[in-house]
Amino acid sequence: MKYSQTFIPTLREVPGDAVIASHRLMFRSGMIRKLSNGLFAYLPLGLRSFRKVENIIREEMDAIGSLEVKPTVLIPGELWKESGRWDSMGEALLRVKNRLGADFVVSPTAEEAFTSLVRNELSSYRQLPLLLYQINTKYRDEIRPRYGVMRSREFVMKDAYSFHADDLSLDEHYQAQGRAYRRIFRRCGLTVIPVKADSGAMGGSGSEEFMVESEIGDNTLLLCKSCDYAANVEKAECKLDYSPRFSEELARGAANHTPPLEKIDTPELKTIEELCGFLKTEAENFIKTLIYRAVHVELDLSGAPGYREPAKHRPATGIPEIQEEAFFAVAIRGDLDVNEAKLAAVLKASEVSLAADTDVIRITGAPVGFAGPVGLNTVPVLLDETVTGMNDAVTGALEKDKHYRHAAYGRDFTGWLTADVRTVKAGDRCPICGGELYEKKGNELGHIFKLGYKYTKSMGVSYLDENGKTGFPTMGCYGIGLDRTLASIIEEHHDEKGIIWPVPVAPYHVSIIPIKYQGAVKDACDTLVTELERAGLEVLLDDRDERAGVKFNDADLMGIPWRIVAGDKNLAADTPRVEVKRRSEKEPRLMTLRGAMAEITEAVQRELAAGRE
Ligand code: ATP
Ligand code: MG
């Protein structure tokens, strides 16, 4: 391809809103242009790399037996009303009407579309497992699109959906998707960190996210220094660490020696820091108690002390009754924080948030700041595991300006449920090996997820099993964002001059730069193009009438892995030569045309094949 015949508008200027390297470089190298906030057009150079990522993903999906289909981007609103997500998805869902007034959504993801497709076709267990995928446009009305195509409103996702007769089959395909993801990211030249992820409220039983480390990542990851444990903070667990004082005392059976519970005056002292100062003690000797409101709780609450039944509604088919709204008290050691994602998972709730002040007053009978588990019987009390190790604690006394001290678990209070709901932090101990955990910021590129029966039951997908009985398939879903993957490759592979593409995703393999495209130089360049293209390589010939320096800068910016420079002087020598340089190398080498072509062809073919085996 001749540069003069393509459309690669490179820029020296950086757009003002481009704060990360990939955004700046995609813009400057002429890969993308912005149409509007969160909407980007791919220009020819950008699209070439985009298609390579797409094809790698397609090859790996095909290799695990997933079958490509192409549903529409516009999905009937009815399907989203059936699944309940018409309402629950909120403002990110773009809803539109057609000329007849019928509702549609612009697909932000496609569980409903695939479930509906399968519902109409599935009749027998013999059709299972059914493994389908698409590579298609998604739209999410993100509040704050940013970082270029990393978080845009319109983007392309590979989303696969699988339907199975049993958990074993689901697990097999889930594992196969996980292995395919590892190959996909390796072939794209990406270092990904697979982490355990929150599998959400509804029925999910396994979930893994594929993260890249990133300054701008909006996920916190916890990794173990000693083993390969890695988890999203939303899911991360740690070894239980009773505060040293209590664990030692407990070990000696000290609970019996704790002085009796005592109510004390704590005028105007509300925060744990203020109380610590007043009582000359540490936060870890407090029991912090928070009142939470949870929506759509699926956990069975009948019999939970203090639980009052709220309004209910019965969803379409099969899934358990859903409680609309419920309140809980959550008690945790004073130096720790409650992790709302873990809490939501324990309660099987679609959403949890701190209760409003008026609810706190109603529930605790005191202003905010005096809640505690002792004597609290208006809502179910959930204890973080750490609290069961506390036998001499300070906690709110459900009265303004009053606290208890010497509160002991088992003696002065218990809870309805004990669970791990703490936010794990750097320095905590690995749940697997006890090693030290540390934190990284990560950006999610892909996600694999066991959905279970959430959609198949709520949308009534069934089949007849080998005994002629009706069964619901269990389901998995598996997504990768192509645009974000592409941008992440640039984040990992660039320098101050531009992109340094890994060969499998480079827009071209070789850039040929004639100092002046005429005479013997032109002949040599044309030969190189013809021969390299014949060997299957993709070549960009910079035939523009520009200064060599301009062409060099553009080649560096575009990040094409190999550069050949042809000039009169080197070609006129006894043995005609050209300058050859890898984008990642500092200095060019003089090589004969044959030598250059042989070395480059061999290297490109080797690197294209790597990861395929
Ligand atoms: P995030 O937490 O970053 O919003 P998500 O959890 O909403 O991601 P999924 O619904 O799991 O993402 O979508 C699968 C993949 O689609 C993500 O891993 C990501 O690569 C991509 N993706 C999601 N939202 C966007 C977006 N706004 N722009 C570009 N890619 C996106
Ligand atoms: Mg999102």
3-class DSSP string for 22-66: HHHHHHHCCCEEEEECCEEEECHHHHHHHHHHHHHHHHHHHHCCC
CA of 458 to the centre of ligand 1 (A): 24
Amino acid symbol at 273: E
pLDDT of residue 324: 78
Beta carbons within 8 Å of 202's beta carbon, 6+ residues apart = 298, 319, 348, 350, 451, 452, 454
* Pure H helices in 227-302: 244-251, 272-279
Specify the pTM.
Answer: 0.91
Residues of the chain with CATH 3.30.930.10: 18-237+439-490
SS3 content of the chain, % helix, strand, coil (to 5): 30, 30, 40
Pick the atom of ligand 1 nearest to 480's CA.
Answer: 15
Question: Cβ < 6 Å from ligand 1: which residues?
Answer: 109, 140, 142, 151-152, 155, 157, 444-447, 479, 481, 483-484
- Which tokens belong to 470? 């009706």
| Residue 272: closest CA among 362, 315, 335, 354 | 335
CB atoms within 10 A of CB 471: 17
Exposed, middle or buried, 93 (CB in 10 Å: 0-12/13-18/19+)? Answer: buried
Ligand 2 midpoint to CA 134 (Å)? 19
Ordered alpha helix ranges (H), 143-287: 167-187, 244-251, 272-279
Question: Exposed, middle or buried, 588 (CB in 10 Å: 0-12/13-18/19+)?
Answer: middle
List beta partners, residue 124.
Answer: 464
Ligand 1 atom 1: the closest Cα is on which residue? 444
Q: Give pLDDT, residue 167.
A: 95
Nearest CA to ligand 1 atom 8: 444
Distance CA 326, CA 351 (A): 11
- Going by alpha carbons, the residue nearest to atom 21 of ligand 1 is 481
Ligand 1 atom 29: the closest Cα is on which residue?
Answer: 151
Superfamily assignment of 508-610 in CATH?
Anticodon-binding domain (3.40.50.800)
Q: For residue 57, give both structure tokens.
A: 């993903």
Report pLDDT digits (tens) over 254-293: 556 789 999 999 888 878 888 888 888 899 999 999 999 9
Neighbouring C-alpha atoms within 13 Å toward the C-beta of 529? 20
Query: Which ligand has its closest atom nearest to the C-alpha of 152?
Result: 1
* Closest-lying ligand 1 atom to the alpha carbon of residue 151: 28
CATH 3.90.960.10 domain residues, the chain: 248-419
Six-digit token string for 503: 């060969």
Class of 248-419 per CATH? alpha beta
d(CA 509, CA 496): 20
Tokens 């660490």 belong to 241
Q: Which residues of 205-214 are buried (b: 16+ CB within 10 A; e: fewer)?
A: ebbbbbbbbb
The CB density around residue 441, as the number of other CB atoms within 10 Å, is 15
**What secondary structure, in 3-state letters, does 63-81 show?**
HCCCEECCCCCEEEHHHHH
C-alpha 355 to ligand 2 mean position (Å): 25
> Which residue has its alpha carbon closest to ligand 1 atom 13?
479
Number of H helices, E strands in the chain: 16, 32
Q: What are phi and psi of 149, to 5 degrees?
A: -80, 0
What does the alpha-carbon distance between residue 403 and residue 388 come to, in Å, rounded to a whole number?
19
Count of other CB atoms within 10 angstroms of residue 248: 11
Which residue of 107, 134, 152, 155 sits with most ligand 1 atoms within 8 Å of its CB, as the best mutation to test the pocket? 155
Q: Give, for 492, the enclosing helix (H) or strand (E).
A: helix 482-492
Counting ligands in written order, which one lies closest to the CA of residue 141?
1
Residues of the chain with pLDDT under 50: 318-319
Q: What is the pLDDT of residue 94?
A: 97
Four-point Cα dihedral 292, 295, 301, 306, nearest 10: 40
**Residue pLDDT, tens place only, 361-398:** 999 999 999 999 999 999 999 999 999 989 899 999 99
18-237+439-490: CATH, from 3.40.50.12590, 3.20.20.70, 3.30.930.10, 3.30.1490.100: 3.30.930.10
- Give the relative orientation of helices 167-187 and 44-63 as an angle to the nearest 10 degrees: 140
User: Are the C-beta atoms of residues 515 and 544 closer than 8 Å to each other?
Assistant: no
- In this structure, the residue with its CA closest to atom 2 of ligand 1 is 444
Atom number of ligand 1 nearest to Cα 443: 3
Six-digit token string for 178: 């996980």
DSSP, res 129:
S
